[in-house]
Amino acid sequence: MTTPAAQLNEQLLRMRAGHAADPMPPWPVRAARLRTLQSMLTEQRDAFASAISADFGQRPAQETDLLELFPSLSGIRHALRHGRRWMRPRKRLAGLAFLPARTELRPTPLGVVGIIVPWNYPLYLAIGPLVDALAAGNRVMLKMSEFTPRFSALLAEQVGRYFQPDEVAVVTGGVEVAEAFSALPFDHLLFTGSTAVGRHVMRAAAANLTPVTLELGGKSPAIIGPGARFEEAVERIVFGKMVNAGQTCIAPDYVLLPRARVNEFIGVACSVVARMYPDLERATQYASIISDRQYQRLTGLRDGALAAGAREHPLDGTAADPARRLLPPVLLSGVSDAMEVMREEIFGPLLPLVPYDSFQEAIAYVAARPHPLALYVFDEDSKRIDAVLAGTQAGGVTVNDTLFHIAQHGLPFGGVGPSGMGSYHGEAGFQRFSHMKSIFRQARFNGVGLLNPPYGGRFRRMLELLLKRG
């Protein structure tokens, strides 16, 4: 019986053979693959959205279009506009002592890239890095999440229709397959998911010295400064928290706000939810929690906080429904660092409120904790904003809004420290999946022979000159 590891290795060898036959695909070949991907997304739009909704139990097609399809297609268009330029060799100046030699950096494909896709945005977090890897001239294997079986199977079927087997391949399966996939000797491996699983992926990749990009998460804070447009800040935080029912790696995880405005935040948030989700009980435009396990984890975080003294503030009168995995949004006040909800990434529609007495206290609070994947700051005073940017570390920042830094193709996206390593998107992604090959071109007429042995007086004079001026 063929094992998953053997099957995966066979697929990898097939792709390596394809890469060896065409190790430096010209731009027309790369562009054709990107346009094929574009056609697949456009033609299968409704089918993909339906499959994702079925996997979640309920997720509005509008959210899939906005949060997954739009950035995927936008990323393809961006790569098609700029990819030819990204491929060009970069001229560099040779050292003064080596003139008239010439140097350059030439982007070359890595070979075969592995991408491990999470369940929360299974379309975008597959297509986003795939676009960058294809633009860089690579072959790609995608490992989809077992928690989105319908979409994963559909994507595997459609990729098989639109691409050659040695160009792009989709792998499905559970933990055993994921472990075997992580252990393959890829030329680069990108993982998006939890910090705990990221450690296992990195350990498996280390056995092959496979370079990795880890996109993890953490507790992404939102800071409301004293000069913020308060109601607008609350609206944008609620939006960032409620899309996909908070199952977003860069969703606001907790809010730091002036102590005197906690009750005001609760009132405004209730109004925002009533306006954005007027029929939340039917949940036609609100996502379900992906699985019973995740639903129980979230209710456990909430109940544990309440048992430890936190206060619950429902933002809608809808009751939670375990059968549908419908979990309405809840604010939590009176939280403490001892509570699990303040130690774990929440990844759901629970939002703790953490009051501060001074703005510097809020900055210090963020700085004292593990670096988050995202940071949000709301204020109209540039000095206060700069104080947050200078005093904290985060993978990315959005000022006076949430989420949208991830959609900027000109900005690298990635974590720092506990929230990940490496980044991609746009040109940064092209470079992530390329090797910048260093090339030195010696001039026909040069003086390097003056440094040849035997090391006599001429050598000593040349060496002294190099030490002083080279």
Give the number of other CB atoms < 10 A from CB of residue 306: 16
Strand duo 102-109 + 434-441: pairing: antiparallel
Put the strands of the sheet holding 112-116 in their side by side order.
Answer: 168-171, 139-143, 112-116, 188-192, 212-215, 420-421
Listed in sequence order, the residues at least 6 apart from 31 whose beta carbon sits closer than 8 Å to its beta carbon are 80, 83, 84
Q: How far apart are CA 180 and CA 200, in angstroms?
A: 12
Q: How far apart are CA 342 and CA 352, in angstroms?
A: 8
Q: Is the backbone of residue 91 left (phi > 0), alpha (psi -120 to 50) or beta?
A: beta
Give the number of other CB atoms < 10 A from CB of residue 460: 10
Q: How far apart are CA 320 and CA 350, in angstroms?
A: 13
Q: How far apart are CA 181 and CA 389, in angstroms?
A: 38
Listed in sequence order, the residues at least 6 apart from 432 whose beta carbon sits closer than 8 Å to its beta carbon are 132, 136, 188, 190, 213, 422, 423, 424
- SS3 call for 221: strand
- SS3 call for 445: coil
Catalytic center residues: 215, 249
Give the burial class of 198: count Cβ atoms within 10 A of its Cβ; 0-12 exposed, 13-18 middle, 19 or more buried.
buried
Q: Which H or E run contains 462?
A: helix 457-469
349-377 b/e (C-beta count within 10 Å ≥ 16 → b): bbbbbbbbeebeebbebbeebebbbbbbb
232, two tokens: 């607008």
Q: Are 318 and 285 in contact (CB under 8 A)?
A: no
Q: How far apart are CA 288 and CA 437, in angstroms?
A: 47
DSSP state of 291: -
